[in-house]
Structure 1
């Protein structure tokens, strides 16, 4: 079971994020509250941007959080802006954190547009340089979209200059949720990759998802799904394999938001409300085991028809393609009811 807590919020509002609207950020949960949650539920995963919490990196301590494996994934906000950065980095090192990963969507103008925050790109550069000065390993992972695709080649060059490599070059997956549908307007297509040559920028298939771009089209995923309709490739690991879900499901993913509300996060649906933290773990898990199958989560490959344009849209995974089609079916059903 994974317990994901919105303890710090996030200063960014990325255009692919499943959270709608602008979140607050800061100390949304105190350390004492987090320890109490951990005692009831088990080790916690801190959602969104942990460095935005004034008690970072203490919120990553083993008496609160799951094992971090020595990694921090961050947008750089706190690392770039904290005045006590010497203490922060020293405490990170003492807690075993040695590697920091930053995600970029383009150069300054496009990245700031994508995450809806001026200064976000500069924060990553500043955080990178601060970390490198203290001998941390820093990785940049780059996610491309149609609007900012012209930035990718120069951004790869900048990554090699700043950190010596690109950890990953790819693009985001779809999951069922309102905000994700807006992202579909800038989803990459086969033609985009061929025009800008993203498959040639990094000659390593483990780092450059685009090296096999022909196999990532919606049409290719549909054909794979038709051949293997029961394949787990078309379900995110966190999606329950049975409905109602079982509390014993190994990859059960629960989310606790800043208002202390608890949700199942199944990916084939927007997070499903279970109740409040104060209701208690036992009661919430009993409610979970009564949840019905979300609308269109039983979608089959033979239920899908793709337009010529849709066939060339790219998806990094099979579940991204399936979730996009679930979202599409829901929108069509809603329009039909209006």
Structure 2
């Protein structure tokens, strides 16, 4: 499973169809990160200056306060310390601890995958050399991000969510030749399948619905704020248009997702944080985005003349 390289640049290169579909979703009724999405640092680009909301919104929603928008607080590393998190709820496993009570580190890592010598045959690797040091990185999306600094056989980056981590590794499966194993760590590592309580399914689905409402409200506020800037407005629309499909790709393999919606809930919460970062600090365009858009418009006009 591959994951988009960044919450903030997710799907900006999507086709015109995605643009018009998202444009129709601007109304507060039908509007729907990208975590910015998954995980490379956001390239530096132009920034749309933040502005005060034009109108007061209902209290409790991101962007609702009078004056400058306050960014929502990112989930703490404490929500993942001492827990066993599993990829898709039933695959590879990871545990975190703090070095001397301070720096976050990986205390235990087990990777599940396919044998290099026999395709289709499962393999499991208990990664040695624990603990693995984690280096803080800038996510550009309001989340706490870390990069594995001492595992050259399978380098990856992770964003800390609420009791879970979102991992990316440039879309490449890792080949651990000494263990005759190929494993892909990309995806959501969170609550194990065995820990889901059927009695809480309705509550979890209800929480997701509430978070979805906040996403719609924040997206509309962000769109309205940038409505006069065609370039930024187009980027915001394309980014939002790609979020649902990206989330579906990440979550379709998560255990009991249809019953609990756990994966979708965690990614949607992260999307709220990403939108909050854009509302508070302005929209940062990916490097080269303006040039790409200009080239596409030029090509479209040239094609129309033929």
- TM-score bracket for the superposition, by shorter chain length: under 0.3
* Structure-1-length-normalised TM-score: 0.25
* Structure-2-length-normalised TM-score: 0.27
Greater RCO (Cα-Cα under 8 Å, separation 6 or more): 2
Which has the larger strand fraction?
2
Which has the larger helix fraction?
1
